[in-house]
Every structure is written in structure tokens, then in C-alpha cells.
């Protein structure tokens, strides 16, 4: 819908303080980071060259992309199931689903990560239980590896994945589903051939949010990965705070931001931002 | 509704539907004949969509049974009844092309790829959508979307086609065109059509029978001329078009109907229920009354004065007041209206006995 001129001017005025804040808090400091990447320790493209040749940096990049991709698939799938119940379930199911979605927001990310450690570690709840029923003899390694990281991150991100899905499902015309059934399609078939494709924009929006968030995860991989599954944010931290290699840290940051920017541009080419919320 | 290609015969037996304490449908009994074109007509909220949803199997009736070709289908889920349905607003699959939309019911029925291709092609031809096969619904005009919805609902040869106000979003010209097209599709397919509208002229023009609803009750079912010329009650009489109501006194059964006194003149009229006696309401359509210099003996007629006229092109609508103060509207040739108004004094309103009928409910 197109607003009148004064509408749009009004909206622009309301947006202005937010825009100013974003520029001051993010854009300006980021320009500083860009400058470091080209000037530290010596001016030039040295850091970017190092990026291309450094095996460690590359393996961390690849691991980050892999974990983010898996977390995206896991979170969006789980969130989809929860959202279907939340939006289309019976009143009781709706309340339960809402509870599952909202409770994680009240618990800090640190608490949750340690909670997962307690559950997944060698002497944690799951291993103890599986051993006590004799299902396994040796504890499974569920934590301090990529598996633990994926579990913890997915758990954190599922609630965020719910909202774009919920808005897509809510805006769906109920009659189209009835039409499918009236034409002879079973509930299952209607779900897969009509419901899921019609919520495509929600799936894309949800996946994008989860993927972009995953790329920048720091606390959860640090705790649940146990130093073995270093992700890109942790690497940047290490470069800047532990081995004062500011130039390389800055260069990695710049590449990450450019990558995310390019990804969003690509997605927005195919899906209008309006359809995502 | 189970055998493809064969028109279904449907019986609704005492169907009722409550939403909480609200009665959306009440004790509805209706037979829909094989290959019939039945229109459900009624004002907004009268329960038309609810009844259609019950026929399709999307809504479970609170009481009553539903039969298709003699088989009780009340508990059969919608996907197994497979009535063709065209929804208000079409409900096309937005992510599928025209072709894929129309192919959907055939794919569900696991038809072979060649058969699907052939039948979808035939259907596209039949509804005139050639050249639009690959488009998405959003890229089509309202009329074209309507055709896709019709094609999709007819392609699997359902025993009955249910249509919920399919033309309400179309402009007048297109509406007329689509009505003609639907009539043709009905003749070509021979399928039973159940069509919902709240446009009375559409109902009269299209249907083999019209069922009139109000407040969840079925008031009357009959051929268009039956319900128009012989309405069972005041609501049906008024809903189907403009009508004049005159009080009559001393009604007595007579040959071919009844007699009584209207404005102190003896008149003859038709009536359905023989038991009507005493005071009643006589109803006459405006186009059935004419203006005369005087009423001859034995002819129905009352004296009135012309008060206003509305020029309608082909005819003029003339408003009159009778001697006893009743308001009457007639539709007469333009020059007759002009003459009646010029005279400024009394004229006679006459009508054939068979065009005046008593409302059996006393006009309540
Ligand atoms: N699911 C429902 N829950 C509660 N009330 C309902 C429900 N569906 C319909 N009704 C009520 O039942 C009545 C009949 O509705 P229905 O949709 O059948 O009317 P309609 O004749 O199709 O009207 P319209 O011409 O406006 O489409 C309405 O008063 C409506 O509010
Ligand atoms: Mg309706």
C-alpha cells in the first residue's frame, strides 16, 4: 500500500532517531574496523591475503558455515512443527506451544548453555540414564563437540524462528486449505502440497534470521564446544584480545559482514521484505 | 457424489446447525434433483454458506442426515465426498500455475500424466483460458481467476458442483458473461449445480429451482416463476422484487381461488391455501397492474390517484395512492404514465385475477 506524502514524511521523522542511533552505534565503529583491516599492522591488503592462505581461518569459516546451515535446518524444522501447533492447534495445544516459545526468553543464554552441559556431559542426565537402563555401556560424547554446539544453538534460536513462520501461517487463507480437501486431497497431502508451499516466505525469513544469527554466535559455542568447535566470532575474539592481531581480526569481521550483506541482498531479490514479517 | 461423471441426487433431511447458542440453520429438508441447477437465495447471514459447507463436508450438521444417491454421507469427510466447490474469493492455490491448479484434483486421484494433460487441456479450452496456462493466479484478472476456479472444480467430473457467490467480486458486464458461461457449463456437463447468491435476478435467471432462506430457515423452494408469482409469504414476495400489498376483507374460497372485498370492490384472486378466510393481504407485482379509464364489471380494479413518476427508459414507474390511502407502484408504458399524471385525478388500477395472490401467512 502506498501512503500519502505526509504519511511517509511522518514515518521518516519517526524513524530518524532510530536511524541515527544505528549509525552511531554500528556503522561508525564498523568503519573503524574496516580501517584497521587495511592498516594494521602495516597498510595494505596483507590481512586479506593472510585470510586466503591461513588454514586455521579457513577451517573455522567452513565450520561456521556448516554449523550455521545445520542449525538453520534443525531450528526451522522444529520451529515449524511448534508453530503449526501454536497457530492451528486446539486451545490447550496453543497455550502449551506458547509456553514452549516464550519460556526460553526468560532464561539467559549463559544459563541455558550450562543447562545443556548438565544434560549432555559424560556424567550428565542423558548419559547416566542411558547407562542405567543398559542401553549404552560407555558414555556418548554429546558435548564439547559440534553436536553440543548445534543442540545449544538450535535451542536458543528456535523461538526466533517461530515468529516469521507464525505470521505466514496466520495470513494464509483458510479456504484454500478447504478447497484442497474438497478436491479430494487428504490432510497429509494438503499439508505438503498446499500448506508448506504457501508458507514459503515465512520459511525463508525464518531461515535467514537463524542463519545470520548463527554466524555470529559466541557464548554457546564457547561453552558447549569446549574449545574444539571454534566458530568465527570466537576466532575474532581470540585474534583481538588474546594474540593481539587486530588487523586479522578486523579483516575477518569485514568479510563476515560483507558475506551477510550479500546473502541478505540475494534473499531480498527473491522475497519482498514485507513478506518476511 | 462418488461416481465421477454422473450427476448426484442429494437429500437433506432435517438438517440443523448451531454455533454455540446461535441457530445458523434450522430443520432444513430439501431434495436436490439429479442434474438440477438449484440456487440458494437469501440475505446476508441467512445460512446459505453454512448449508453449502455442510453439503461439501467442511461443517458437520448438529442434527439431521444427508444422503447422496440414497447413501447416508453425513459422516463422510470432505475429501471423500469430493463435491466440486467454487469458493467465495475463488481460493486458488497461489503457488501453482493455472495448469497446476486445474490438474490438482486429478493428481490427487493418481491419474496418469497423459490423461491429466489431456483433461486439463480440454478444460482450459472449455473455459477459454488458452494462453494463460503457465500464469500464476495473481497474474490473472478476476474473471480469469473465476474460470480457473470453475475448471478446477469441474475437471474431475464431480457429481455435484457447489458455488458460493462466485460472481460477487465481478463487475456487472463480466457477471452477465460468466452467468451465461455457467449456464452453458451446466448444460454441457449435466452435473447437479448448487449455487449461492443474494442477487435475486441472478437466481431467477439461472436456476431450475430457487430455495429462499432467511434466518437459517428454508422458506420456500420452487421454479423461478413459482416463487416469483406465487410466494408463500411476505418475505419471499418482497425479497424477489418489488410488490404491492393491498388489504382485502371478507375473503371466501371460490372457483379457481378466492373472492373478497378490496377497497369496497369485489375482486377475484388466486391463493394456495384454501383455508384463508376473513381479512388477508393481496400481493400484485407492479408490472402486472395497468392503468385504465374505468374498470369494467367483473374485472379486478380499484380507484387511485397518481402522485409521482420515475422515468426508467423502457417504462415508467408510477406511484399512486388508493382512495383508502394504500400506496401502490405500477410499471407502465411512458405515455400512459404521463397521461395519468396530467389528468391529476382519479384513474383505475386493474389487474388480471390470476396475477393477484393472497399471502397465506396473512402477510406477516
Ligand atoms: N463458525 C461459525 N461460528 C459462529 N457463527 C457462525 C459460524 N459460521 C457461520 N456463523 C453464523 O451463522 C450465520 C449464517 O452464516 P452464513 O455464512 O451461512 O451466512 P450466508 O447466508 O452465507 O451470508 P452471506 O450472504 O453474508 O455470505 C451467520 O450469522 C454467521 O455469523
Ligand atoms: Mg456466504
A192-218 per-position pLDDT tens digit: 999 999 999 899 999 999 999 999 888
C-alpha torsion sign, points B34, B37, B43, B45: positive
Choose the closest CB to A186 out of B79, B95, B156.
B79
pLDDT at A28 over 70: yes
Give the closest residue to A137 by CA, choosing from A149, A146, A128.
A128
Ligand nearest to the CA of B46: 1
Q: Is B179 helix (H, G, I), strand (E, B) or coil?
A: helix
| Residue in the structure block whose three cell numbers are 544459563 | A111
Between A3-12, A67-76, A151-160, B76-85, the lowest mean confidence (pLDDT) is in: A3-12
Residues of chain B contacting A198 with CB distance shorter than 8 Å: 93-95
Residue B61 pLDDT grade (very low, low, confident, very high; cuts 50, 70, 90) = very high
Residue A251, C-beta contacts closer than 8 angstroms, at least 6 positions apart: A37, A47, A48, A50, A51
Q: A29 and A70: one domain?
A: no
Mean pLDDT of B343-355: 81
Q: A34 and A142: one domain?
A: no
Q: B177 and B201: one domain?
A: yes
B14-49 per-position pLDDT tens digit: 999 999 999 999 999 999 999 999 999 999 999 999
Looking at the complex, report in whole angstroms how far the Cα of residue B317 sits from the nearest Cα belonging to chain A. 43
Chains A, B: CB pairs < 8 Å: 67
**Omega before residue B186 within 30° of 0, cis:** no
Give the closest residue to B331 by CA, choosing from B243, B224, B202.
B243
Q: A80 and A112: one domain?
A: yes
B254-304 per-position pLDDT tens digit: 777 788 888 888 888 877 765 667 788 888 999 888 888 777 777 888 888
pLDDT at A53 over 90: no
**Structural domain of A54:** 46-276
Q: B44 and B156: one domain?
A: yes
pLDDT at A18 over 90: no
Q: B195 and B262: one domain?
A: no
Q: A194 and A154: one domain?
A: yes
Residue B188 belongs to domain with CATH number = 3.40.50.300
Overall number of domains in chain B: 2
Enter the ipTM.
0.78
pLDDT at A277 over 50: no
**Structural domain of B283:** 244-360
pLDDT at B1 over 50: no
pLDDT at B336 over 50: yes
Q: A174 and A220: one domain?
A: yes
Alpha carbon of B244 to those of B168, B284, B286, B320: distances in Å?
Answer: 29, 5, 7, 11
Q: Name the β-bridge partners of B348.
A: B292, B303
Residue A249 belongs to domain with CATH number = 1.10.3720.10
Q: Is residue B29 part of a domain?
A: yes
* Residues belonging to chain B with any Cβ–Cβ distance to chain A shorter than 8 Å: 56-58, 77-85, 87-89, 91-95, 104-105, 108-109, 152-153, 156
Mean pLDDT of B241-255: 85
Residues of chain B contacting A275 with CB distance shorter than 8 Å: none
- Here the cell at position B64 is 439431521
Q: B292 and B219: one domain?
A: no
Q: B202 and B257: one domain?
A: no
Q: A77 and A17: one domain?
A: no
Residues of chain A contacting B57 with CB distance shorter than 8 Å: 182
Q: Is residue B2 part of a domain?
A: no
CA angle A7, A11, A15 (to 5 degrees): 170
* Mean pLDDT over each residue of chain B, to the nearest integer: 88
- Most confident option among A30-34, B113-117, B142-146, B322-326: B113-117
Q: Is residue B80 part of a domain?
A: yes
Q: A137 and A165: one domain?
A: yes
% residues pLDDT > 70 (chain A): 95
- What pLDDT was estimated at residue B5? 59
Q: A33 and A50: one domain?
A: no
Q: B122 and B271: one domain?
A: no
Q: B158 and B253: one domain?
A: no
Residue B312 belongs to domain with CATH number = 2.40.50.140
- What pLDDT was estimated at residue B275? 61
Q: Which residue has the higher pLDDT, B56 or B342?
A: B56
DSSP string, B341-364: HHH-SEEEEEE-GGG-EE-TTTT-
Choose one of B173, B202, B235: the last residue of a domain: B235
Overall number of domains in chain A: 2
Query: Which one of B54, B80, B83, B87 makes the best mutation probe of the A interface by having the most chain A beta carbons within 10 Å?
Result: B87
Q: B298 and B156: one domain?
A: no
Q: A158 and A94: one domain?
A: yes
Q: A268 and A177: one domain?
A: yes
pLDDT at A144 over 80: yes
Query: Which one of B1, B54, B56, B58 makes the best mutation probe of the A interface by having the most chain A beta carbons within 10 Å?
Result: B58
B21, B46, B88, B165: residue to mutate for ligand 1 pocket, most atoms within 8 A of CB:
B46
Interchain CB distance below 8 Å, A181 and B79: yes
Contact B292, B301 (CB under 8 A): yes
Task: Look up the pTM and report it.
Answer: 0.80
The residue length of chain A stands at 277
B192-206 per-position pLDDT tens digit: 999 999 888 889 988
- What pLDDT was estimated at residue A79? 95
Q: B228 and B261: one domain?
A: no
Q: A171 and A190: one domain?
A: yes
Q: A241 and A259: one domain?
A: yes
Q: B80 and B162: one domain?
A: yes
Amino acid at each position: 500500500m502506498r501512503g500519502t506524502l505526509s504519511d511517509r514524511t511522518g514515518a521518516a521523522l519517526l524513524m530518524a532517531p532510530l536511524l541515527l542511533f544505528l549509525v552511531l552505534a554500528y556503522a561508525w565503529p564498523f568503519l573503524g574496523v574496516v580501517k584497521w583491516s587495511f592498516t594494521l599492522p602495516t597498510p595494505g591488503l596483507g590481512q586479506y591475503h593472510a585470510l586466503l592462505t591461513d588454514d586455521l581461518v579457513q577451517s573455522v569459516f567452513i565450520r561456521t558455515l556448516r554449523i550455521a546451515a545445520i542449525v538453520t535446518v534443525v531450528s526451522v524444522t522444529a520451529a515449524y512443527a511448534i508453530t503449526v501447533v501454536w497457530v492451528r492447534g486446539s486451545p490447550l495445544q496453543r497455550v502449551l506451544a506458547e509456553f514452549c516459545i516464550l519460556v526460553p526468553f526468560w532464561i539467559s543464554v549463559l544459563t541455558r548453555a550450562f543447562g545443556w552441559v548438565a544434560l549432555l556431559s559424560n556424567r550428565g542426565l542423558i548419559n547416566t540414564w542411558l547407562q542405567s537402563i543398559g542401553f549404552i555401556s560407555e558414555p556418548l560424547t554429546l558435548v564439547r563437540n559440534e553436536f553440543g554446539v548445534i543442540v545449544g544453538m538450535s535451542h536458543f534460536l528456535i523461538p526466533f524462528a517461530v515468529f516469521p513462520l507464525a505470521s505466514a501461517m496466520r495470513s494464509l487463507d483458510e479456504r484454500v486449505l478447504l478447497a484442497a480437501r474438497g478436491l479430494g486431497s487428504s490432510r497429509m497431502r494438503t499439508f505438503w502440497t498446499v500448506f508448506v508451499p504457501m508458507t514459503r516466505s515465512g520459511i525463508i525469513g525464518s531461515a535467514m534470521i537463524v542463519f545470520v544469527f548463527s554466524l555470529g554466535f559466541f557464548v554457546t559455542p564457547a561453552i558447549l564446544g569446549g574449545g574444539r568447535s571454534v566458530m568465527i566470532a570466537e576466532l575474532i575474539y581470540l585474534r583481538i584480545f588474546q594474540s593481539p592481531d587486530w588487523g586479522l581480526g578486523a579483516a575477518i569481521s569485514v568479510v563476515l559482514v560483507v558475506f551477510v550483506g550479500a546473502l541478505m541482498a540475494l534473499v531480498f531479490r527473491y522475497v519482498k521484505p514485507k513478506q518476511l514479517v | 457424489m462418488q461416481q465421477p461423471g454422473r450427476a448426484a441426487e442429494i437429500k437433506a433431511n432435517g438438517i440443523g446447525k448451531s454455533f454455540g447458542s446461535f441457530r445458523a440453520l434450522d430443520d432444513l429438508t430439501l431434495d436436490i434433483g439429479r442434474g438440477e441447477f438449484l440456487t440458494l437465495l437469501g440475505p446476508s447471514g441467512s445460512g446459505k454458506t453454512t448449508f453449502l459447507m455442510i453439503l461439501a463436508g467442511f461443517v458437520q450438521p448438529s442434527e439431521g442426515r444427508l444422503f447422496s444417491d440414497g447413501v447416508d454421507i453425513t459422516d463422510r469427510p470432505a475429501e471423500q465426498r469430493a463435491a466440486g466447490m467454487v469458493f467465495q474469493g475463488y481460493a486458488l492455490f497461489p503457488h501453482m500455475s493455472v495448469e497446476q491448479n486445474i490438474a490438482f484434483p486429478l493428481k490427487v486421484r493418481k491419474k496418469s500424466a497423459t490423461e491429466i494433460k489431456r483433461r486439463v487441456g480440454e478444460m482450459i479450452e472449455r473455459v477459454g483460458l488458452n494462453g494463460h496456462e503457465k500464469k500464476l493466479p495473481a497474474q490473472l484478472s478476476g474473471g480469469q481467476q473465476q474460470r480457473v476456479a470453475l475448471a478446477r472444480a469441474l475437471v474431475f467430473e464431480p457429481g455435484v458442483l457447489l458455488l458460493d457467490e462466485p460472481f460477487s467480486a465481478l463487475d456487472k458486464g463480466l457477471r452477465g458473461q460468466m452467468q451465461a458461461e455457467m449456464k452453458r457449463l451446466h448444460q454441457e456437463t449435466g452435473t447437479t449445480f448448487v449455487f449461492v447468491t443474494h442477487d435475486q435476478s441472478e437466481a431467477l435467471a439461472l436456476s431450475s429451482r430457487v430455495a429462499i432462506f432467511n434466518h437459517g430457515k428454508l422458506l420456500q423452494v420452487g421454479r423461478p416463476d413459482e416463487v416469483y408469482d406465487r410466494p408463500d409469504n411476505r418475505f419471499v414476495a418482497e425479497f424477489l422484487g418489488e410488490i404491492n400489498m393491498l388489504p382485502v376483507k371478507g375473503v371466501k374460497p371460490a372457483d379457481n381461488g378466492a373472492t373478497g372485498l378490496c377497497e369496497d370492490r369485489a375482486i377475484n384472486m388466486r391463493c394456495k391455501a384454501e383455508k384463508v378466510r376473513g381479512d388477508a393481504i393481496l400481493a400484485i407485482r407492479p408490472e402486472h397492474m395497468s392503468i385504465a379509464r374505468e374498470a369494467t364489471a367483473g374485472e379486478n380494479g380499484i380507484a387511485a390517484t397518481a402522485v409521482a413518476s420515475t422515468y426508467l427508459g423502457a417504462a415508467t414507474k408510477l406511484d399512486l395512492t388508493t382512495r383508502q390511502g394504500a400506496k401502490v407502484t405500477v410499471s407502465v408504458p411512458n405515455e400512459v404514465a404521463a397521461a395519468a399524471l396530467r389528468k391529476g385525478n382519479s384513474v383505475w388500477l386493474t389487474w388480471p385475477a390470476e396475477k393477484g395472490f393472497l399471502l397465506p401467512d396473512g402477510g406477516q
